[in-house]
Amino acid sequence: MATSKYKHIKLNANGSLGANASEAVSALNSHFNPDDFFVTNSEDEMDVWLRQVNLNDLSEAVGRVSQEYGNEAAMSEILRAVESVKSYGINGSKRLYVGYNSERKVVDRKLKEQRRGKHYYANDHDFAKPSGALPPEFADRIVCGDSETVLKRLPDNCIDLVFTSPPYNFGLGYQESDDAHDWEAYFSKLFSVFDECIRVLKYGGRIIVNVQPLFSDYIPSHHIISNYFMKKRLIWKGEILWEKNNYNCKYTAWGSWKSPSSPYLKYTWEFVEVFCKGNLKKQGKSADADIDADSFKNWVTAKWSIAPERRMREFDHPAMFPEELARRVMLLFSFRNDIILDPFAGVGTTCVAARRNNRRYLGIDIAPEYCATAERRLDGVSG
């Protein structure tokens, strides 16, 4: 047996194997291809040899063998040991425990990483580390006004996470602000607000922006905004694709039909850019991390399929994001009781998600009508 091609787990059965251990182990083995998985047993020890396995199949087989041979403790121990292996790749429905990264192996990875240097664009920053306190009059509040002006009243380093979708300059009919500026004026105003967001963000805090570029104007807003944050020495943590499964234009908008002269690209997703101030790691008590294991596993795969908000008419706002998007961002990137800021709060989706998920919040919007709707929505949510 070429054992080198398997991952080996040694288990002490502590007397739980039972009289018919060998029969039970053979029965379990009969469910699997020995090239993928098998167990051997001796007096009071079991050895698990693992290359790849479908966990559901293993769980079912373990259940059947336990029932038939009555040695549940030993069988559960095998399942628990396999489930607790942290390092694996995915191969169809199976977890692949051996050889999954052999093609990607880089010789002297650490040394090469050191030589390249990480996030070189962000290293020369002068962000202060001490946190400030959010003044009580801003805690759990919706404030109506221009964000840049309102944020100037906040001390440095008092916010844990900024999550927002700015006005996109699409020409939407917002209540109080014009949504069709000359692009340079638009970015200049947006960046004045972002400068304040960066200032009020704590060291190690995150600023996360949902952006949809205006493809028809050929303006890559997500790149322009990301470049701005990098220029301001924030660290790019990554990009989430929010898959909405709907087109950003008419299905028949092809551009140059059947000709390479100028085909029009269509997108069914939006971008969510994630940046960190000063440090990729965020301070927080582990008891305040409230994301469960399955959500964590699913959401770090950074393509999130979430239906667009369907209640825009009900709330009389033309560009809401769904609460689920805000919930995932908060659970993955902030701790319970953290302070969440949305400087373009609209009808308060971020704040509603924050309250529902035991975070504190500050939402700012320029339109009194949207602020009133946000207050009404928040009244119906227990914190």
Ligand X SMILES: C[S@@+](CC[C@H](N)C(=O)[O-])C[C@H]1O[C@@H](n2cnc3c(N)ncnc32)[C@H](O)[C@@H]1O
Minimum CB–partner distance for residue 154 and ligand X (Å): 14
Minimum CB–partner distance for residue 151 and ligand X (Å): 9
52 lies in the binding site for ligand X (CB under 6 A)? no
Exactly one of 122, 162, 198, 347 binds ligand X (CB under 6 A); that residue is 347
Minimum CB–partner distance for residue 127 and ligand X (Å): 24
367 lies in the binding site for ligand X (CB under 6 A)? yes
Residue 259: left if φ>0, alpha if ψ -120 to 50, beta else—which one? beta
157 lies in the binding site for ligand X (CB under 6 A)? no
Rg (CA), the chain: 26
Secondary structure E strands in 193-268: 201-211, 235-243
Q: Which DSSP helix (H) or strand (E) runs through 272?
A: strand 269-276
Helix (H, G, I), strand (E, B) or coil at 158: coil
Residue at token pair 């030589």? 115
- With CB atoms as reference, the residue minimizing the distance to ligand X is 346
Residue at token pair 């002269």? 261
Only segment of 27-35, 118-126, 229-237, 314-322 that touches ligand X (CB under 6 A): 314-322
Paired tokens of 77: 């121990």
320 lies in the binding site for ligand X (CB under 6 A)? yes
Exactly one of 97, 197, 365, 377 binds ligand X (CB under 6 A); that residue is 365
Cβ-contact 89, 301 below 8 angstroms: no
Q: Which is nearer to ligand X, 317 or 327 (by Cβ)?
A: 317
178 lies in the binding site for ligand X (CB under 6 A)? no
Minimum CB–partner distance for residue 349 and ligand X (Å): 3
**Residue 206 and residue 189: Cα distance in Å, rounded?**
21
Exactly one of 71, 157, 165, 221 binds ligand X (CB under 6 A); that residue is 165
Q: What angle do CA 249, 213, 309 make, to 5 degrees?
A: 65
167 lies in the binding site for ligand X (CB under 6 A)? yes
Report residue 302: phi and psi, to 5°: -85, 35
319 lies in the binding site for ligand X (CB under 6 A)? yes
169 lies in the binding site for ligand X (CB under 6 A)? no
Minimum CB–partner distance for residue 229 and ligand X (Å): 18
Cβ-contact 243, 268 below 8 angstroms: yes
List contacts with ligand X (CB under 6 A): 146-147, 165, 167, 174, 176-177, 317, 319-321, 344, 346-347, 349, 364-367, 370
